Amino acid sequence: MNRFISKHITAPIEAAPLAVFRILFGVMMLLSIVRFWSYGWIEKLYIQPKFFFSYYGFEWVKPLGIYTYFIFIICGLSAIFVALGYKYKVAIVTFFFSFTYIELMDKTTYLNHYYFISLLSFLMIFLPANAYFSLDAKQDSKKAFQKIPAWTVNSIKLLLGIVYFYAGLAKLNSDWLFKAMPLKIWLPSKFDTPLLGQFLHEEWVQYAFSWFGAGYDLAIPFLLLYKKTRPFAFVMVVVFHVMTRVLFPIGMFPYVMIVSTLIFFDSSFHHKLLNYLSGFFRIQKNLFDNGKAVVMAPHGKMSPKLILIALFFVVQLLMPWRYLTYPGELFWTEEGYRFSWRVMLMEKSGYAQFKVVSKDSGKWFYVDNSDFLTPFQEKQMSFQPDFILEYAQYLKKHFEKDGHKNVQIFVDSRVALNGRLSTTYIDPKVDLGQERESFEHKNWIIPFTDEIKGI
Residue 1 has pLDDT above 60, yes or no: no
Q: How confident is the prediction for the chain on average, in pLDDT?
A: 95
Of 397, 347, 47, 423, the residue nearest 179 (C-alpha): 347
Look at residue 119 and tell me whether its pLDDT is greater than 90: yes
d(CA 309, CA 318): 14
Q: Which of 59-73, 136-150, 297-311 has the lowest mean pLDDT?
A: 297-311
First to last CA, the chain: 31
Residues near 300 by beta carbon (within 8 Å), at least 6 away in sequence: none
Of 179, 187, 202, 158, whose CA–CA distance to 312 is shortest?
Answer: 158
Q: Tell me the C-alpha distance between 150 and 34, whole Å.
A: 34
8 A C-beta contact, residue 146 and residue 288:
yes
Residue 298 has pLDDT above 70, yes or no: no
More confident residue, 361 or 73: 73
pLDDT band at 184 (very low <50, low <70, confident <90, very high): very high
pTM of the full structure: 0.95
The CA dihedral of 209, 213, 216, 221, to the nearest 10 degrees, is: 160
Q: Which of 54, 62, 58, 109 is nearest to 390 (CA)?
A: 54
Residue 293 DSSP code = B
Q: Give per-residue pLDDT as tens, 198-212.
A: 999 999 999 999 999
List the Cα angle 164/207/216 in 5-degree steps: 20
Q: Can you say whether residue 431 is alpha, beta or left, with left for phi > 0 and alpha for psi between -120 and 50 degrees?
A: beta
Q: How far apart are CA 127 and CA 131, in angstroms?
A: 9
Distance CA 11, CA 405 (A): 68
CA neighbor of 197 nearest in space, from 189, 186, 207, 185 = 189
- pLDDT, tens digit, for every residue of 315-370? 999 999 999 999 999 999 999 999 999 999 999 999 999 999 998 888 999 999 99
**3 pLDDT tier (thresholds 50, 70, 90):** low
CA 192 → CA 136, 201, 326, 445, distances in Å? 49, 11, 41, 39
